[in-house]
């Protein structure tokens, strides 16, 4: 019997053990240990979590599933505690609890998310993790907040972390000496102590770290001689010792830099501001030839022998350092794209002190420099002066004309004024590039003046010239870039100017209101970019321009393109851009576009073209944008256009096309981003094939004769589910055009989309970069608004007005948080205005007029701010901003209470009535039985006698 009991007990123990194991396991992985869970909760208790970083750290949850925690899936021990912050503005504060020492299996510890207004010391107990391989206590993520977490000395106990491979204590306020015990970390590969306040010498024991690959001790206050033992770090790839207080390559009587020659794996070396690294030791730098992997070297302390200084793309502030002018060996100084201020006077003055100036190039473009030096001619060796995009004002000093070696002069993007005369160029016989774009300068140069130079690039848009064309350009025969756009007072163009196109790559004479015809010269161009926009040129486009790379000819009076398009069909053409919008082109388009199959952009909008689109237009398989808006084209769209599979922008609006929308648009033009067929005579239903255009951002089919319902598959317009300004991939707006034989340049163009709002056009420049929208207004559409529209979260414009839509406005229209334009007017919509509409805070235009909407207009800042006309024509609508007040109604909260009260009173009345009737009926029955039935009367009399006897007895 006892044996059976014992077996039963063993079985129960086994079942309990299996049950506990099952309870401690989820999905085959161990839960965290209770002791470690409590240790983490104690650690959390010492922190202030103002941003909910540790919101998943809850007492009832498995700590292995907490954010930043990773456990061993077999043992359940915590191996990783990762509290780094992806964004600097979110951080934890407080103290590090010693309870962390209960995590003895920890191999990875990152506390970079910690930040305090008051700093704390690195706790020595962090040196008691025997398995720790990674320790990151950097305050870099909080560096922008100026809240370093740690101060004080580095505890020597960190030298006990025998398994440590990565140690980062950077961007703190640590001071004192680097503990020599760190030299015991034999497995260490990465050591970063930069941007602290560490003092003393570099401990020679660091030379024992044979596995070290990265050593950064920069931006501290270290001093003394760099220990030669660092030459034992054969695996070292990155060494940064820059900007310390008193660090030396060698002392007065000892030390050397030759140990660097042992570091054959070194790829990056920075010894900037290290003392005694100067001319007297330059001969010892021959060892650099023994560093085969070296890719980056900074030795900026070698100042007075420098030939080139490059400080571009930094955040440098203040005036241009005048001390740089003392470096007489300096040949090139570049500080492009900084925040330097002041003028160049001090820099130029100091440079003039050199007995033999060697300065050839100065690039200070994209700074905030506000003045030039009047005696800039002192730098007689100067060949290049780049001062683009600064804050220069006043006149250009005539002393520039004395820089006899000057080849490049870039002053564009400033606010210079005054007069330019021949004296500015008198001695500039080597000038090749001159750019003053953006200034308001007057050029007074005699027509008989012969320049001493042959210029290659002249960019002077917006200047004022004499009434005659600048004839001093006539003898310039090496032009490759000529920009004389928007010149004031130009009268006409001499024929010799068109001959300059023979050598030009870029020719811009736009915005000058010039008249006349352009001769068809017998020359072959080298594929230049030609811009004649906004003039009054007329006649035919010359055939020799077929050899251009890009033609911007909009806003002129050109009347024919037949001879141009149907010209020489044997020569190779590379024309990528043809913009003839806003001209006076008439008649039918020629059917010989085979000659221009390199076109990527074709704009013929706002002309007087008519007839059908020629079939040969479909051979332009490289087209990315085809714009035929506002002409008189008729017929159906030719099926050949389906071959233009690269089209991203197709605008055929404001013509007389008819028939159903072709199915091949959705099936073949999969790259479409903008599709506008507005103001035509297209009929039939909306083809569901359009839903295949997943990249479509703007669909404008307004003012046609489309019928039936809106297909629910519009949810497939996936590009409309995202914000066009951030998430989508708009078309490039760039093109390659050929220059010369083997050279291609990149050009840019802008596209304009016109959308209708309350019978007025709104223009959107490069709409694919900022807009997503659907406009189906002024058709014959029926049925309900598909609820799938609420999934198009990126919509900025939705116009379904002037149709025959019915049903209710979709209830979740408030999901469209980016919506700015909403027009549902002149339909048969009914029901209430959804309350979610009031949540769209970007809504600037709204029209719900002329429907059958009813009820109260939802309360919201936006909806009450619109003009009452946005709601008129809905007789049953009430509330602000309409003058019609809603009838007083009991609130929903009050209605159930009153109803319950009424129901209770009715119930009680019925109860009391039934009780009264029951009592009366029972009482009457009793009296009748006692008074009139003798068999009842005698027992009742006996009962009363006995009752009286008990009471009074």
Whole-angstrom distance, CA of residue 864 vs CA of residue 881: 5
Q: Quick check: 3 pLDDT over 90?
A: no
Closest CA to 681 of 656, 663, 701: 656
Dihedral angle, C-alpha 573, 574, 577, 583, nearest 10 °? -20
Closest CA to 678 of 656, 704, 658: 704
Q: 142 or 270: whose pLDDT is higher? A: 270
Average pLDDT of the chain, as a whole number: 82
- Across the range 715-735, mean pLDDT stands at 71
Q: Which percentage of the chain shows pLDDT scores above 70?
A: 76
Of 886, 858, 882, nearest to 869 by C-alpha is 882
Confidence of residue 582 (pLDDT cuts 50, 70, 90): very high
Beta bridge partners of 883: none
Q: So where are the chain's domains? A: 22-298, 718-878, 924-953
Q: Which tokens in the block code for residue 665? A: 């648009």
More confident residue, 938 or 13: 938
Cβ-based neighbours of 76, under 8 Å, separated by 6 or more: 24, 29, 30, 31, 32, 33, 64
22-298 sits in which CATH class?
Answer: alpha beta
Flag whether pLDDT at 237 surpasses 80: yes
Instruction: Kindly state the tokens that stand for 555.
Output: 């806003």
Q: Is the pLDDT of residue 255 over 70?
A: no
The confidence score (pLDDT) of residue 433 equals 95
Q: Stretch 799-808: mean pLDDT, rounded? A: 96
- Tell me the whole-structure pTM to 2 decimals: 0.64
Strands 317-319 and 601-603, bridge-based pairing: unpaired
User: Is the pLDDT reported for residue 182 higher than 90?
Assistant: yes
Of 235 and 352, the structure prediction assigns the larger pLDDT to 235
CA angle 889-890-896, nearest 5°?
145
Residue-wise pLDDT tens digits, 812-867: 999 999 999 999 999 999 999 999 999 898 898 999 999 999 999 998 778 988 99
pLDDT at 614: 95
d(CA 208, CA 214): 14
Q: Which residue did the predictor score with more confidence, 18 or 81?
A: 81
The CA–CA distances, whole Å, from 313 to 85, 369, 411, 853 equal: 27, 16, 19, 59
- Residue 926 clears pLDDT 80, i.e. is over it: no
The confidence band for 771, taking pLDDT boundaries of 50, 70 and 90, is confident
Asked whether the predicted pLDDT for residue 279 surpasses 70, the reply is no
pLDDT exceeds 70 at position 759: no
Residue 332 has pLDDT above 50, yes or no: yes
Task: Check: CB of residue 178 under 8 Å from CB of residue 198.
Answer: yes
Q: What is the DSSP letter of 665?
A: H
Q: Output 952 or 804, whichever has higher pLDDT.
A: 804
pLDDT at 929: 53
Say what the pLDDT of residue 778 is.
95
Q: What element of type H or E holds 357? A: none
List, as one string, the DSSP characters of 153-210: PPPGGGGG-TT--EEE--SSEEEEEPPGGGGG-TT--EEE--SSEEESPPPGGGGG-T
Find, among 111, 108, 40, 104, the residue nearest to 75 by Cα: 104
Q: Which pLDDT belongs to residue 896?
A: 45
Cβ(695)–Cβ(670) under 8 Å? yes
Is the pLDDT at 239 greater than 60, yes or no? yes
For residue 493, pLDDT over 80 is answered with yes
Check if the beta carbon of residue 531 is closer than 8 Å to that of residue 552: yes
Least confident residue range of 478-492, 627-641, 721-735: 721-735
User: Is residue 751 within 8 Å of 649, Cβ to Cβ?
Assistant: yes
Phi, psi at residue 650, to the nearest 5°?
-130, 110
Determine phi and psi for 798, rounding to 5 degrees: -140, 115
Burial of 12 (0-12, 13-18, 19+ CB in 10 A): exposed
Higher pLDDT among residues 892 and 849, named by residue: 849
Q: What's the pLDDT band for 267 if we cut at 50, 70, 90? A: confident
User: pLDDT, tens digit, for every residue of 504-560?
Assistant: 889 999 999 899 999 998 888 888 899 999 999 999 999 999 889 899 999 999 999
Q: How confident is the model at residue 898 (pLDDT cuts 50, 70, 90)?
A: very low
Strand bridging mode 25-26 / 29-30 = antiparallel
pLDDT at 950 over 50: no
Q: How large is the average pLDDT for residues 349-371?
A: 79
Reference 564, options 581, 550, 547; nearest CA is: 547
Burial of 769 (0-12, 13-18, 19+ CB in 10 A): middle
Q: Taking 90 as the threshold, does the pLDDT of residue 629 lie above it?
A: yes
pLDDT beyond 50 at 16: no
Q: How high is the pLDDT of residue 261?
A: 82
Average pLDDT score over residue span 270-297:
58
What does the pLDDT read at residue 303? 44
User: What's the confidence (pLDDT) of residue 344?
Assistant: 79
**Would you give the DSSP letter of residue 343?**
B
**Binning pLDDT at 50, 70 and 90, where does residue 903 land?**
very low
Is pLDDT at 947 greater than 60 in this prediction? Answer: no
Mean pLDDT computed over 189-211: 94
Residue 950 has which token pair?
Answer: 């008990």
Measured CA to CA, the distance from residue 229 to residue 222 in angstroms comes to 17
Question: 658-662, 689-693, 777-781, 897-901: which has the minimum mean pLDDT?
Answer: 897-901
Q: Which of 235-249, 260-274, 562-576, 868-882 has the highest mean pLDDT?
A: 868-882
Q: Is 221 helix (H, G, I), strand (E, B) or coil?
A: coil
Q: Which residue has the higher pLDDT, 773 or 91?
A: 773
How far, rounded to the nearest angstrom, does the alpha carbon of residue 666 sit from its chain's CA centroid? 30
Top pLDDT among 29 and 902 is at 29
Amino acid 952: pLDDT? 44
Radius of gyration (C-alpha) of the chain in whole angstroms: 43
Q: What is the 3-state secondary structure (H, E, C) of 416-476?
A: EEEEECHHHCCCCCCCCEEECCCCEEEECCCCCCCCCCCCCEEECCCCECCCCCCHHHCCC
pLDDT digits (tens, 9 = 90+) for 99-134: 999 999 999 999 988 877 666 899 999 999 999 999
Contacts of 295 (CB under 8 A, 6+ apart): 267, 268
Instruction: Flag whether pLDDT at 446 surpasses 60.
Output: yes
pLDDT of amino acid 252: 46
pLDDT at 604 over 90: yes
145-159, 176-190, 516-530, 883-897: which range is least confident on average?
883-897
| DSSP β-ladder status, 743-748 and 734-739 | antiparallel
CB 747, CB 769: distance < 8 Å: no
Q: What is the predicted pLDDT for the residue at 953?
A: 46
According to the model, what pLDDT value does residue 17 have? 43
CA–CA distance, 676 with 686 (Å, rounded to integer): 14
3-state secondary structure at position 662: coil
**According to the model, what pLDDT value does residue 919 have?**
53
Check: CB of residue 557 under 8 Å from CB of residue 532.
no
C-alpha closest to that of 651 among 671, 620, 630: 630
**Residue 755: pLDDT over 80:** no
The more confidently predicted of residues 894 and 630 is: 630
Question: How many CA atoms lie within 13 Å of 702's alpha carbon, on the beta-carbon side?
Answer: 22
In CATH, what class is 718-878? alpha beta
Find out whether 36 and 102 touch, Cβ atoms under 8 Å: yes
Least confident of 106-115, 443-452, 612-621, 761-770: 761-770
What pLDDT shows up at residue 100?
93
CA diameter of the chain: 156
Q: How far, CA to CA in Å, does 156 sit from each of 178, 189, 202, 845?
A: 9, 18, 15, 67
CB 580 within 8 A of CB 604: yes
- CA gap 443, 461 in Å, rounded: 11
């Amino acid at each position: 019997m006892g044996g059976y009991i014992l077996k039963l007990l063993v079985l129960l123990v086994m079942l309990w053990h299996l049950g506990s194991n099952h309870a401690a396991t989820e999905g085959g992985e161990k839960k965290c240990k209770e002791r470690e869970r409590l240790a983490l909760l104690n650690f959390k208790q010492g922190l202030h979590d103002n941003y909910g970083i540790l919101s998943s750290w809850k007492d009832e949850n498995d700590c292995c599933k907490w954010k930043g925690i990773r456990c061993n899936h077999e043992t359940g021990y915590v191996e990783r505690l990762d509290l780094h912050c992806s964004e600097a503005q979110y951080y934890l504060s407080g103290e590090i609890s010693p309870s962390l020492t209960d995590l003895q299996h920890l191999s990875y510890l990152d506390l970079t998310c910690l930040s305090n207004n008051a700093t704390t010391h690195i706790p020595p107990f962090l040196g008691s993790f025997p398995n720790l391989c990674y320790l990151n206590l950097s305050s870099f993520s909080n560096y922008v907040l100026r809240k370093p977490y740690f101060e004080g000395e580095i505890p020597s106990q960190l030298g006990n972390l025998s398994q440590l491979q990565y140690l980062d204590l950077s961007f703190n306020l640590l001071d004192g000496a680097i503990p020599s015990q760190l030299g015991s970390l034999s497995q260490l590969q990465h050591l970063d102590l930069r941007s602290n306040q560490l003092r003393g010498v570099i401990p020679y024991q660091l030379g024992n770290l044979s596995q070290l690959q990265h050593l950064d001790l920069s931006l501290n206050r270290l001093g003394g001689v760099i220990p030669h033992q660092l030459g034992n770090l054969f695996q070292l790839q990155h060494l940064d010792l820059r900007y310390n207080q008193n660090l030396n390559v060698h002392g007065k009587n000892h030390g050397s830099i030759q140990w660097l020659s042992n570091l054959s794996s070194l790829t990056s070396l920075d010894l900037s501001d290290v003392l005694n690294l100067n001319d007297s030791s330059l001969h010892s730098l021959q060892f650099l030839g023994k560093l085969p992997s070296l890719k980056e070297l900074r030795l900026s302390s070698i100042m007075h022998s420098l030939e080139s200084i490059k400080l571009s793309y930094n955040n440098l502030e203040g005036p241009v350092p005048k001390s740089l002018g003392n470096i007489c060996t300096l040949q090139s100084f570049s500080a492009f794209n900084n925040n330097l201020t002041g003028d160049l006077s001090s820099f130029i003055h100091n440079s003039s002190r050199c007995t033999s100036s060697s300065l050839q190039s100065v690039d200070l473009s994209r700074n905030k420099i506000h003045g030039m030096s009047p005696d800039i001619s002192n730098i007689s060796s100067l060949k290049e002066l780049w001062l683009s995009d600064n804050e220069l004002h006043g006149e250009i000093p005539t002393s520039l004309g004395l820089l006899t070696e000057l080849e490049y002069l870039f002053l564009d993007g400033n606010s210079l004024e005054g007069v330019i005369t021949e004296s500015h160029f008198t001695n500039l016989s080597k000038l090749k590039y001159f750019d003053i774009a953006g200034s308001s300068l007057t050029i007074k140069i005699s027509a008989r003046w012969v320049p001493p130079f042959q210029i290659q690039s002249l960019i002077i848009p917006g200047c004022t010239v004499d009434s005659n064309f600048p004839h001093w350009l006539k003898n310039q025969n090496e032009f490759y870039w000529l920009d004389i756009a928007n010149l004031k007072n130009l009268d006409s163009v001499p024929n010799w100017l068109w001959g300059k196109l023979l050598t030009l790559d870029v020719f811009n004479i736009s915005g000058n209101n010039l008249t006349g015809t352009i001769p068809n010269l017998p020359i072959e161009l080298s594929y230049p970019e030609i811009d004649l926009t906004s003039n009054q040129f007329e006649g035919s486009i010359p055939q020799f321009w077929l050899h251009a790379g890009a033609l911007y000819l909009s806003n002129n009076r050109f009347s024919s393109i037949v001879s141009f398009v149907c010209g020489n069909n044997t020569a190779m053409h590379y024309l990528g851009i043809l913009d003839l919008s806003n001209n006076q082109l008439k008649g039918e388009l020629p059917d010989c576009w085979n000659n221009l199959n390199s076109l990527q952009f074709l704009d013929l909008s706002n002309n007087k073209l008519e007839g059908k689109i020629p079939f040969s237009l479909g051979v332009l398989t490289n087209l990315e944008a085809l714009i035929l808006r506002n002409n008189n084209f008729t017929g159906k769209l030719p099926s050949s256009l389906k071959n233009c599979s690269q089209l991203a922008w197709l605008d055929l609006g404001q013509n007389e096309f008819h028939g159903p929308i072709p199915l091949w648009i959705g099936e073949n033009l999969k790259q479409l981003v903008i599709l506008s067929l507005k103001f035509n005579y297209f009929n039939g239903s909306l083809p569901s094939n359009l839903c295949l255009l997943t990249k479509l951002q703007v669909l404008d089919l307004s003012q046609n004769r489309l019928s039936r319902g809106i297909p629910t598959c519009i949810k497939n317009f996936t590009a409309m589910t995202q914000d066009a300004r951030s998430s989508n991939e708009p078309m490039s707006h760039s093109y390659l055009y050929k220059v010369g034989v083997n050279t291609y340049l990149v050009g840019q163009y802008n596209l304009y989309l016109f959308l209708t709002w309350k019978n007025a056009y709104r223009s959107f420049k490069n709409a694919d970069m900022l807009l997503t929208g659907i406009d189906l207004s002024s058709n014959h559409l029926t049925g309900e608004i598909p609820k799938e529209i609420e999934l198009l979260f990126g919509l900025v414009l939705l116009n379904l007005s002037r149709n025959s839509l019915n049903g209710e406005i979709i209830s979740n229209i408030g999901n469209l948080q980016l919506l700015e334009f909403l027009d549902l007017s002149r339909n048969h919509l009914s029901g209430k205005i959804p309350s979610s509409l009031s949540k769209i805070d970007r809504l600037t235009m709204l029209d719900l007029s002329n429907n059958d909407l009813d009820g109260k207009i939802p309360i919201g800042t936006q909806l009450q701010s619109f003009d009452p006309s946005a709601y008129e024509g809905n007789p049953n609508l009430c509330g602000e901003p309409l003058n019609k007040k809603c009838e007083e109604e009991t609130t929903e909260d009050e209605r159930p209470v009153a109803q319950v009260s009424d129901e209770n009173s009715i119930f009680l009345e019925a109860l009391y009535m039934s009780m009264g009737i029951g009592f009366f009926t029972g009482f009457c029955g009793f009296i009748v039985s006692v008074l009139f039935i003798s068999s009842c009367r005698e027992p009742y009399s006996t009962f009363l006698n006995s009752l009286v006897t008990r009471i009074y007895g």
